[in-house]
Homo-oligomer: A and B are copies of this chain.
């Protein structure tokens, strides 16, 4: 290894340590921190972020990268890929002044507070000036970069390197009419019964069951843990310390099982990254969409499938005998896949979920290019909800104010959720070609071959390949919704007898 490369890795190692330390502090904040600890914690996180940024944007890094890009120009090699990804991150980081990052953090913190109040009072006007300020800052952020085909490209690229607004529009454009058509058919079919899902289930037993499932998936409790937090999430401090959080909701007690599978999907990705990438820019999953393809696959394509429950249902039924009395595995399977247009994205079923995302994407694009006035958002939201899902929110809390993302200036993020769904089905078709009896394996509670396939084709590469490239490499085509449409149509035709 050249001296310059080893120096670069030394710096990146320290930056990675600082970022991972910040992740530990963030995890602790959600899981353990006593309420009064928040102020100091915010300060500590700000300092870690500032120092990491300073170290990463040091001119020395720029000089090293310039030299190393010539020396390691083959981006198919690990070092070449690492240098390519680092140089891209460096370029981005250098364009954005530290003072802007600090301003965005301050504005975002205030906007978050306003959002909490606005949501609790269901009053968009409280949030409006803060969202306007956030959008202003997002536009300023865009201005730091060379003009793109569409201003939203700049935002999207932070989450899906290499993807364009036009790509996403095209993917969603193909999907929407087919998904709308499917939803119409389902609306006219006989609804499935799911009352037993909202009975009272013992929290500890649900929790234990969730850990039994993810252990079978291959989540390694020697390298991770599941804790209670207000929101489920996955976070990693190294390839050998990948944690997930979960919650228990009285109104939807078995949701804990699906959240565990979802976060486990993220965790398996992080646990599977090549350990040689530790403390470099390749050490984590490559994009939010590819990450989401993993979590959604384990949650939905595996965890909401009939073969899966043919394996687990007998034990579930034994554990919750009175709640599931008289419920067959088929009816349980139908219930957990019930389709019903609803207001809240995070509670949406597979058939309606993407509609929530498309609505948000259109609004975000409009915010980024100025074609939407922020004060019109509630009206636009409600109109689109009516158009896409046939329902109108009774108030802003269950409409435009429901998600936290925009309050902290996160614009450009939402489409990754839908892209993840789409990619999960593309991968699934390929996997089922490679593993001919996958359904049968799942029916026996065997997940090794699936997990190893994912590890070998995706996880191990970490950040080496961009999202479109890895999908292309595996499936032979770029991100495309046809597999997802096939998947949804087949699944719901059976469930709803269409």
Which residues of A approach B to under 8 Å, CB–CB?
Answer: 13-14, 17-18, 20-22, 24-25, 28, 32-37, 39-41, 43-44, 46-48, 50-51, 220-225, 227, 237-241, 243, 278-279
Contacts and interface: CB of A to CB of B under 8 A. Distances in A.
Contact of A44 (B17, B47, B243): B17
Contact of A237 (B20, B40, B222, B237): B40
Given A24-B25, A51-B51, A238 B17 contact: no
Contacts of A13: 43, 47
Contacts of A33: 241
Contacts of A238: 37, 39-41
B225 A34 contact: yes
A43 B28 contact: no
A37 B279 contact: no
Contacts of A39: 238, 240
A44 B237 contact: yes
Nearest to A40: B238
Nearest to A39: B240
27 contacts: A13-B43, A14-B47, A14-B50, A14-B51, A17-B43, A17-B46, A18-B47, A18-B48, A20-B44, A21-B25, A21-B44, A21-B47, A21-B48, A24-B25, A32-B32, A34-B223, A34-B225, A35-B222, A36-B220, A36-B241, A37-B223, A37-B237, A37-B241, A39-B238, A39-B240, A41-B237, A43-B279
Nearest 3 A/B pairs, CB to CB: A40-B238, A37-B241, A17-B47
B17 A223 contact: no
Contact of A17 (B35, B48, B241): B48
A256 B18 CA distance: 36
In this complex, the member of A24, A39, A224, A227 whose beta carbon has the largest number of chain B beta carbons within 10 angstroms is A24
Contacts of A35: 222
Contacts of A34: 221-225, 240-241, 243
A41 B18 CA distance: 11
A118 to B, nearest CB: 26
Contacts of A237: 37, 40-41, 44
A25 B22 CA distance: 10
A240 B44 contact: no
A20 B227 CA distance: 23
A41 to B, nearest CB: 7
A239 B17 CA distance: 25
Contacts of A40: 20, 237-241, 278
Q: Which of A20, A37, A48, A223 has the most CB of B within 10 A?
A: A37
A58 B285 CA distance: 37
A39 B223 CA distance: 12
A483 to B, nearest CB: 36
Contacts of A17: 43-44, 46-48
A218 B220 CA distance: 40
Which of A33, A225, A240 has the most chain B CB within a 10 Å cutoff?
Answer: A240
B36 A222 contact: yes
A176 to B, nearest CB: 43
